[in-house]
Amino acid sequence: MEENLLKTCLYDKHVALGALMSPFGGFIMPIQYTNITDEHNAVRHRAGMFDVTHMGEIFVSGPDAEKFVNHIFSNNVAGMEDGKILYGMMLNPNGGTVDDLLVYKEFVPDHYLLVVNASNIAKDHEWICAQAEGYDVMVVNGSDSWGQIALQGPDAERYAVETLGLAPAAALGFYTYYETEYKGTRMIVSRTGYTGEDGFEIYAAHEAVNEMWDALLAAGVVPCGLGCRDTLRFEAGLPLYGHELDDD
């Protein structure tokens, strides 16, 4: 069964660390490395990191991008400032949830990044494209090109700045981001997360994500699996598609 599942760019790292691997959203993902309680507490009290490369990145651009994203998204993106992020839903005609997602207002005019759930990438892309009739927009599913690490916990800022050299991260407000480059490739650093703690989500090319994972691991950041991601988000009251949210 495992050979039919997708692997993230960090798969070999997880196996080398002895993680318990399990199917999730079409991927083979780490559920835990040591135990869920220890990993949960590491995020609550210090810092932990998650492989969230399985999440999807869909880019919407064009003259009608703001109007179109506002049409398909439950939150209001009209007049949204560059570098801001909003959470919300895409809804079907019956009011059920197509998916919950983050919308990033990019620093290029008429460009948005939609970060969607792993299990819904293909479905969301197809649905977004179907809604685009009559709008002057381009929709691109860039999910395969991006890796992503979520660095979460009270000490996340220190590790982002001191270990990864992401000094501008310290100036970010909640639900904002900035862009930079890593060895000539685009990198996005946002002050977002799914744990109820302060933290950052870092999007970059696969090579960069592997190098940052190794640096954080060497610095003492605890690798965390989807098990404690679930307990953390549930404790914080954050919904998850397929559990608290679905098509109905």
The set of residues, in sequence order, having a beta carbon less than 8 Å from that of 80 and lying 6+ positions away, is: 66, 86, 103, 105
For residue 3, the model assigns a pLDDT of 62
59-89 pLDDT, tens digit each: 999 999 999 999 999 999 999 999 999 999 9
DSSP symbol at 84: B
Report how far residue 216's alpha carbon sits from residue 238's, in angstroms, rounded to the nearest whole number.
Answer: 26
Bridge partners (DSSP) of residue 126 are: none
The set of residues, in sequence order, having a beta carbon less than 8 Å from that of 130 and lying 6+ positions away, is: none
For residue 4, the model assigns a pLDDT of 84
For residue 183, the model assigns a pLDDT of 85
For residue 1, the model assigns a pLDDT of 46
Sign for the CA dihedral angle at 108, 87, 196, 212 comes to negative
Reported as type and span, the H/E element at residue 188 is strand 185-190
- Contact between 157 and 201 under an 8 Å Cβ cutoff? The reply is no
Whole-angstrom CA distances from 103 to 49, 84, 92, 238, 246 are: 22, 8, 18, 17, 19
Regions in the chain scoring below 50 on pLDDT: 1
- Contact between 23 and 214 under an 8 Å Cβ cutoff? The reply is no
